[in-house]
Structure 1
């Protein structure tokens, strides 16, 4: 009941339109920038190849090598992932990686007051008379998750439609399969950060303070992942990257079942950890 009521209330609010507009503008900006850079690089490569007197086969080979190198940079050089994304336009992968960087902050803005907005003015006391605290928290979390799933699907579909219209060899079968794959990866990724937002919202009475702490935690995760990524593999510092949820993002696109399962279970663990902490806090705190 709480889930359905919160979904209706959220969909009727102006915030969901503002969030959709924010997400759309960011994705469109990245899409246009990446598309422009890709076209410019392709034209420059074609010009250099034409000046060198190479044939069309050589031009295609150079373009393929450039795409392979750039794709390897995006996915960390994993050959299996690179082969699985061989039929996906490069612009889709770049925009997807950019939106994954933005999604945690987007989720924080969307749900920072899902609990603290009621705890601060103490209006939550009237709700807990008729519903358990656990039901209230899970209902709020599920309603935010439902809205988030819809928003991500709309944006991903728009990106794939653009790539489909501008890439002749991007078939409908590859379009449909990869749209579902990328959407599920974004959903699994974002649910863990939504649980983190729920935890931060349960910690404080002031929604603004919940948002600030949430942003600081996100920056801490990003910094941990960055430090671990730049450290040498033999250094103990490299292992700190496993503490950041973002470290497991590439595995969500991996074609291997074992690698995908490891990343999926990692995000399930983070989701349950953050959500469990929020449940414990809400149960124990004075409302």
Structure 2
């Protein structure tokens, strides 16, 4: 049974604890600097186009055909036709965020439950809130932190892209807002997974290494199963499978992918709550 007030209080405490700590400040700076990387890549390619005498982007862009071929190597043809209108730097940003975000989530949230158990502070919390409310509050609090940091990361790129004049401001904000939302939808699954790993251990360092190993195993298993036609259906058990469907032109497929991310994260949070209920604190 969850009490909404307890969940909000725990989530608020988790947000303050992370953003006010040295780890939170370091992660904020990391996300801020991460936003500069795709900007530098875009500046590099823009300079190459200028030196080659290419016209400005959007005006008979000679790279359009090449970009479409590259997109078709990653996505199906309808999705490639849909994404060709998206500013290239935002697609770089999307791919990079989806790849690195699970690891960053682990670095932020690996101690969300293991740390409380190790320092016995969970006894204090459990005396004032249901254990299920604690897990849900920490899950939502960590997800809000990730969403804010991802917004900083993406916002840096949006501003730089608009100032460079590489795309219309409305297009940047429209595409950028959607891609940021897709990233934080993916993040919910991994926030739940990180909470589950954290609930299994009493020592945060062990939870960190176990979580890193689990992410590696999930990635390898998804790749291996997806390689063979006979086992490809099994990849739907892994959240990494839903990522390519987030940018589909089919809104129903996008909604289903977002729902699967939320379902995956919720299932992990529910299992973490069950484990915490059984744990002797």
TM-score, structure 1 normalization: 0.86
**Residue 61 of structure 1, CA deviation:** 6.3
Aligned ranges 1:104-253 → 2 under 5 Å: 104-168=102-166, 170-229=167-226, 231-232=227-228, 235-253=229-247
Q: Distance in 2 between matches of 1:275 and 1:247?
A: 20
CA deviation string 1:94-128 (max 9, x = no partner): 12201211000000000000010010122211221
Q: What is aligned with 2:251?
A: 257
Q: Distance in 2 between matches of 1:157 and 1:61?
A: 25
Q: What is aligned with 1:71?
A: 71
- The root-mean-square deviation of aligned C-alpha atoms, in Å, is 2.4
Instruction: Give the one of 101, 110, 113 matched to 1:103.
Output: 101
TM-score, structure 2 normalization: 0.87
User: Greater relative contact order: 1 or 2 (C-alpha under 8 angstroms, separation 6 or more)?
Assistant: 2
Tell me the SS of whatever aligns to 1:205. Answer: coil
Q: What is aligned with 2:4?
A: none
Q: Distance in 2 between matches of 1:23 and 1:8?
A: 18
Q: Distance in 2 between matches of 1:67 and 1:38?
A: 14
Q: What is aligned with 2:3?
A: none
Give 5+ residue unaligned stretches, structure 2.
1-8
Aligned ranges 1:33-52 → 2 under 5 Å: 33=41, 35-37=43-45, 39-40=47-48, 42=49, 46=52
**Residue 72 of structure 1, CA deviation:** 2.4
Aligned residue pairs total 271
CA deviation string 1:251-270 (max 9, x = no partner): 11222122112211221221
Give 5+ residue unaligned stretches, structure 1.
50-54
- Match status 1:89 vs 2:87: yes
Q: Distance in 2 between matches of 1:121 and 1:22?
A: 28
- Higher radius of gyration, 1 or 2: 1
Q: Distance in 1 between matches of 2:71 and 2:162?
A: 19
